[in-house]
A and B are shown apart, each in its own frame.
Chain A
Amino acid sequence: MVPQAQVNQNGPAVFFPMRFRLRKDGLLQYISHLDFVRTMTKALVRSKLPLWFTQGFNPIPKITFAAPLSVGMESDCELMDVRLCEPTSPDVALKALRAVMPDAHLEVLDAYIPENKLSSIGYLAYDLCIAYDGISSAHAEEAERYLSSPSIVIEKTGKSGKPREVDLKPMIASATLKWDEEKEEIVGRWVLSASPDAFLNPDLLLGALRTHTPLMQCEGDVWYSLRRVEIYAPDLTVFR
């Protein structure tokens, strides 16, 4: 496929967009979004790909990320858009960036010419897994029942500092929680809204479950993992 040139609104310079899909997991889930951005910026510079720099006094490469990932969350689908100043094939870009990545827990999975704007993402799918002392199948059942109730209202402190009530239910496309007898863990798959005007962070939902059900209520440490596994368009087809 031959990448299409696009014209920058701020000036005449022509650029070629490229999208990378990354995996970020293991210990590197504890790297904040800002640090992730800095890391990828440096990696792109090292890759020697023909980066398009912003015009002006302090030129910087133009790099855009989809919905920031919280610290302590893993992902198979971090999207990063980069502007290049020369037409470059996705295969070449993929190889160049892969060669300069820091660690196996930060892997470039794919490179392609973007088909949709990052701002038109509809949903994100998460896999989760929970373990703690005193966990039981009853906890899973009760939590799942709560998730299927007609509304899930929580109190949120708004920007003004005033608490207000929000119903999370309309932002849940689907959500399960199942008991894994063998591992003694609770596992689930949640598909949550991720559009810019209605972004549901799974941590918020976990918090609600913790308040309203016995899930994760124990004296000692709670261990859990949350992993973004797929990105969907508003019509629930895979986003590209």
Chain B
Amino acid sequence: MTNEQKRAAVLRSVSKPGRYTGGEYGQIVKPDSEVRMRVAFCFPDTYEIGMSNLGMRILYHVLNQTEGVACERVYAPWLDMDSEMQKRGLCLLTHETARPVGECDIVAFTLQYELCYTTALHMMMLSNIPLYAKDRGEDAPILLGGGPCAYNAEPLADFFDIFSIGEGEEALPELCRLYMKMKREGTYSKSAFLHEAAKLKGFYVPSLYEISYHEDGTISAILPKYDDIPKKIKKRIVEDLDKAPFPEQFILPYIETVHDRSVIEVSRGCIRGCRFCQAGMVYRPIREKSPDTLSRQAKCLYDHSGHDEVSMITLSISDYSALGELTDKLLEWANPAHVGLSLPSLRIDSFGEQLMQKVSSVRASGITFAPEAGTQRLRDVINKNVSEEDLMRSAEIAFRAGKGSVKLYFMQGLPTETEEDLAGIADLANKVVDVYYSLPKSERNRSVNVTVSVSCFVPKPFTAFQWEGQDTLGEMEKKQEFLRSVIRNKHVRFHWHDARVSRLEAIFAKGDRRLSAVLALAVEEGVCFDAWDECFDFDAWMRRFEKVGIDPSFYANRQMSKDEILPWDMIECGVSREFLWREREKAYGEKTTPSCAEQCSGCGASECGGELRWCPKRK
């Protein structure tokens, strides 16, 4: 039987075979004669999740627009497909042309969350690519990593050749052009290429940096191996979002995916400075697209898709400076075409009556608020500038508009948290229910239900809390127990996250390259899809840490000192370390920092350049 017939037999036996077929509307297949190099762009999770990722959609488009480059997509096969493939010795193929991933020139992974690391490595294994970079010869592809986790990808440092730091729209084509140039001129060897690439702005080649350690396990030095590569790698940004490349059409999956709709990116960066939020820091400086550009891009996506919904992506939609103009422009063509608009979750303090009307005239994605903490004191600590009054007023507007269910997001385990703060969570939820009952029957929905969703705080690099340790697993679980005991309102549903998942996230988020040993062991044991309940096995992870002699609490629970060299210190994300430490001190002083709209607090991100709507002029 041919490999093709074998694959056909497999496709008949697996769940949702539609995720493996390729051939979707909008995919790009270049004729061989136009292709000088191939990039396999891998999303280390299922097809359904990967297909909804906007970053990958943009970069797929950008790379395929680059002369000589063919970019093809790859997703992780689900468990049933995976085992059938392994049983028959079938390797992982690209979506577009069913080419073995291992035969591509560059294999790129977008790293969206820490728990996808094993899936990424598993995909390398399925592609017959040796795991460790040092074991890969000249014929093996270059392994490239990017996405939010690249800001501290040290746990993957031994496996990947190079990381793209920051926004990739300009950086990735540059890297590809360097690759093609060196191949053409005959100067290419893997080491020569990586050395040259390390000189490009925004690229980190981990093998070219030597890390040494103190006896207590902390880092004593991070040194580049050559004089001509930077000591610190500065992130890349796109200066003008209006001019940034954006796909005219999305690839339309055949099967149902997480978000089956057109998506426009309203802005990057966030003027709020929540002290736990990594995205809010690393995407700075704030840049916006104009309403004209956005409406044009949305219309174009609609024409090329037939989607009946347009969603607006941004960290904080209500901070967009021309929201009214944008929604009006969109509704102008969307209404007659039966296309709905959806907004991401709204901030409490700017959730006004007017916006509510627009949201209900379009299709609201549900009313969710994220106070994050139960008391004003703790909200000041994390710089979530939201008051109880704001929340109650917004809840009232929502209830008056006929909404019956409200979702509240909180975090437990934040620095300085006390039992009072946790009890405050239950309090707030009860008060929201009270707001509902304070309204006359005729002006409210028939029933009310408030969902309180509490996740565990995970300290992240490049935040004011990057030095913090996480609660121990025992503490986290005790707090959940406590919350369960104080949330006792029949209209309030309590939803909590698995603390063990958060703990593993913290370990890898703050990890260094010594963690590669435990990742390699996990992959050898066949681990992947850690982010999925059916695969997550915490005890097995703890056994692995023990086996390789690594104490996970060194990473997750240890309070780092002000002057300690952090594992991610070779990366510069724009926001300065001094600013972050200042913010940390203010947090412990329970002092807030104004948003960039009110006053610049000198975070340093304006040095990255960009269309500086919010930032003061650079000197």
Interface residues of chain A, those whose CB is within 8 Å of chain B, are 26-28, 30-32, 35-36, 38-39, 41-46, 53, 59, 71-72, 100-106, 131-133, 220-223, 225
* CB of A108, distance to nearest CB on chain B (Å): 14
> For residue B252, which residues in chain A have a CB less than 8 angstroms away from its CB?
39, 42, 102
Q: Are B23 and A32 in contact (CB under 8 A)?
A: no
Q: Are B306 and A131 in contact (CB under 8 A)?
A: no
> For residue A39, which residues in chain B have a CB less than 8 angstroms away from its CB?
25, 252, 254
Residue on B nearest A70 in the bound complex, by CB: B12
Question: Is B192 among interface residues, defined by CB-CB distance under 8 A?
Answer: no
Question: Is B524 among interface residues, defined by CB-CB distance under 8 A?
Answer: no
Q: How distant is the Cα of A80 from the Cα of B22 in the complex, in angstroms?
A: 23
Residue on B nearest A35 in the bound complex, by CB: B254
Task: Digitize B1-34: 1 where CB-to-A-CB distance is under 8 Å, 0 elsewhere.
Answer: 1000110111110001110111111100000000
Q: Are A133 and B21 in contact (CB under 8 A)?
A: no
> For residue A102, which residues in chain B have a CB less than 8 angstroms away from its CB?
23-26, 252, 254
> For residue A59, which residues in chain B have a CB less than 8 angstroms away from its CB?
338
Other A-B pairs beyond A102-B254, A104-B23, A221-B6, 16, CB < 8 Å: A27-B22, A28-B254, A31-B255, A39-B254, A43-B25, A43-B306, A45-B306, A46-B303, A59-B338, A72-B17, A102-B23, A102-B25, A103-B24, A106-B23, A221-B5, A221-B88
- Given A27-B21, A30-B20, A105-B23, A42:B5 Cβ within 8 A: no
Q: How distant is the Cα of A105 from the Cα of B24 in the complex, in angstroms?
A: 10
* CB of B487, distance to nearest CB on chain A (Å): 36
* CB of B8, distance to nearest CB on chain A (Å): 6
Nearest 10 interchain pairs by C-beta: A102-B25, A42-B306, A45-B306, A30-B17, A103-B23, A221-B9, A27-B21, A223-B5, A46-B306, A35-B254
* CB of B342, distance to nearest CB on chain A (Å): 15
Q: How distant is the Cα of A39 from the Cα of B260 in the complex, in angstroms?
A: 11
Q: Which of B349-396 contact A (CB under 8 A)?
A: none
> For residue A43, which residues in chain B have a CB less than 8 angstroms away from its CB?
25, 306
Q: Are A28 and B23 in contact (CB under 8 A)?
A: yes
Q: How distant is the Cα of A59 from the Cα of B308 in the complex, in angstroms?
A: 11
Question: Is B325 among interface residues, defined by CB-CB distance under 8 A?
Answer: no
> For residue B24, which residues in chain A have a CB less than 8 angstroms away from its CB?
102-103
Question: Is B513 among interface residues, defined by CB-CB distance under 8 A?
Answer: no
* CB of A125, distance to nearest CB on chain B (Å): 22
- Given A32-B255, A45-B306, A223:B9 Cβ within 8 A: yes
Q: How distant is the Cα of A97 from the Cα of B399 in the complex, in angstroms?
A: 45
> For residue B308, which residues in chain A have a CB less than 8 angstroms away from its CB?
45
> For residue A44, which residues in chain B have a CB less than 8 angstroms away from its CB?
306
Q: Which of B270-319 contact A (CB under 8 A)?
A: 303-308
Residue on A nearest B260 in the bound complex, by CB: A38
- Given A46-B305, A102-B25, A35:B255 Cβ within 8 A: yes
Question: Is B475 among interface residues, defined by CB-CB distance under 8 A?
Answer: no
- Given A35-B254, A39-B254, A46-B306, A30:B9 Cβ within 8 A: no
> For residue A101, which residues in chain B have a CB less than 8 angstroms away from its CB?
25
Picked from A27, A28, A100, A223, the residue with its CB within 8 Å of the CB of B1 is A223
Q: Are A133 and B1 in contact (CB under 8 A)?
A: yes
* CB of B348, distance to nearest CB on chain A (Å): 31
> For residue A221, which residues in chain B have a CB less than 8 angstroms away from its CB?
1, 5-6, 9-10, 88
Q: How distant is the Cα of A128 from the Cα of B498 in the complex, in angstroms?
A: 50
> For residue A31, which residues in chain B have a CB less than 8 angstroms away from its CB?
18, 21, 254-255
> For residue B12, which residues in chain A have a CB less than 8 angstroms away from its CB?
30, 71-72
26 A–B contacts from the bound complex (CB under 8 Å): A27-B20, A28-B23, A30-B11, A30-B21, A31-B21, A38-B254, A42-B25, A42-B252, A42-B306, A45-B308, A46-B303, A46-B305, A46-B306, A71-B17, A72-B11, A101-B25, A103-B24, A131-B5, A132-B1, A221-B9, A221-B10, A221-B88, A223-B1, A223-B5, A223-B6, A223-B8
> For residue B10, which residues in chain A have a CB less than 8 angstroms away from its CB?
221
* CB of A231, distance to nearest CB on chain B (Å): 23
Q: How distant is the Cα of A39 from the Cα of B23 in the complex, in angstroms?
A: 12
Question: Is B256 among interface residues, defined by CB-CB distance under 8 A?
Answer: yes
> For residue B338, which residues in chain A have a CB less than 8 angstroms away from its CB?
53, 59
> For residue B307, which residues in chain A have a CB less than 8 angstroms away from its CB?
42
Residue on B nearest A59 in the bound complex, by CB: B338
Picked from A32, A41, A42, the residue with its CB within 8 Å of the CB of B18 is A32
Task: Digitize B94-133: 1 where CB-to-A-CB distance is under 8 Å, 0 elsewhere.
Answer: 0000000000000000000000000000000000000000
> For residue A72, which residues in chain B have a CB less than 8 angstroms away from its CB?
11-12, 17
Q: How distant is the Cα of A223 from the Cα of B183 in the complex, in angstroms?
A: 42
> For residue A35, which residues in chain B have a CB less than 8 angstroms away from its CB?
18, 254-256
> For residue A45, which residues in chain B have a CB less than 8 angstroms away from its CB?
306, 308
Q: Are B18 and A30 in contact (CB under 8 A)?
A: yes
Q: Which of B247-277 contact A (CB under 8 A)?
A: 252, 254-256
- Given A35-B255, A35-B256, A223-B9, A28:B306 Cβ within 8 A: no
Residue on B nearest A133 in the bound complex, by CB: B1
Q: How distant is the Cα of A187 from the Cα of B296 in the complex, in angstroms?
A: 53
Q: Which of B141-188 contact A (CB under 8 A)?
A: none
Q: How distant is the Cα of A31 from the Cα of B253 in the complex, in angstroms?
A: 10
Q: How distant is the Cα of A228 from the Cα of B24 in the complex, in angstroms?
A: 23
* CB of B455, distance to nearest CB on chain A (Å): 33
Q: How distant is the Cα of A41 from the Cα of B18 in the complex, in angstroms?
A: 17
Q: How distant is the Cα of A131 from the Cα of B2 in the complex, in angstroms?
A: 11
Q: How distant is the Cα of A46 from the Cα of B18 in the complex, in angstroms?
A: 22
Q: How distant is the Cα of A30 from the Cα of B303 in the complex, in angstroms?
A: 27
Residue on A nearest B26 in the bound complex, by CB: A102
Q: How distant is the Cα of A36 from the Cα of B25 in the complex, in angstroms?
A: 12
Residue on B nearest A47 in the bound complex, by CB: B306
> For residue A132, which residues in chain B have a CB less than 8 angstroms away from its CB?
1
> For residue A41, which residues in chain B have a CB less than 8 angstroms away from its CB?
306
* CB of B91, distance to nearest CB on chain A (Å): 17
* CB of A50, distance to nearest CB on chain B (Å): 13
* CB of B200, distance to nearest CB on chain A (Å): 36
Q: How distant is the Cα of A39 from the Cα of B255 in the complex, in angstroms?
A: 9
> For residue B6, which residues in chain A have a CB less than 8 angstroms away from its CB?
221, 223
Q: How distant is the Cα of A36 from the Cα of B17 in the complex, in angstroms?
A: 13
Q: Are B9 and A222 in contact (CB under 8 A)?
A: yes
> For residue B255, which residues in chain A have a CB less than 8 angstroms away from its CB?
31-32, 35
Q: Are A103 and B25 in contact (CB under 8 A)?
A: yes
* CB of B426, distance to nearest CB on chain A (Å): 38
Q: How distant is the Cα of A229 from the Cα of B174 in the complex, in angstroms?
A: 50
> For residue A32, which residues in chain B have a CB less than 8 angstroms away from its CB?
16, 18, 255
Q: How distant is the Cα of A36 from the Cα of B256 in the complex, in angstroms?
A: 11
* CB of B263, distance to nearest CB on chain A (Å): 15
* CB of B29, distance to nearest CB on chain A (Å): 10
* CB of A185, distance to nearest CB on chain B (Å): 10
Q: Which of B313-359 contact A (CB under 8 A)?
A: 338
> For residue A53, which residues in chain B have a CB less than 8 angstroms away from its CB?
338
Q: How distant is the Cα of A43 from the Cα of B18 in the complex, in angstroms?
A: 18
Q: How distant is the Cα of A38 from the Cα of B257 in the complex, in angstroms?
A: 12
Residue on A nearest B9 in the bound complex, by CB: A221
> For residue A133, which residues in chain B have a CB less than 8 angstroms away from its CB?
1
Residue on B nearest A104 in the bound complex, by CB: B23
Q: How distant is the Cα of A35 from the Cα of B254 in the complex, in angstroms?
A: 6
* CB of B272, distance to nearest CB on chain A (Å): 36
- Given A31-B18, A53-B338, A71-B17, A38:B256 Cβ within 8 A: yes
* CB of A121, distance to nearest CB on chain B (Å): 25
* CB of B103, distance to nearest CB on chain A (Å): 20
* CB of B207, distance to nearest CB on chain A (Å): 39
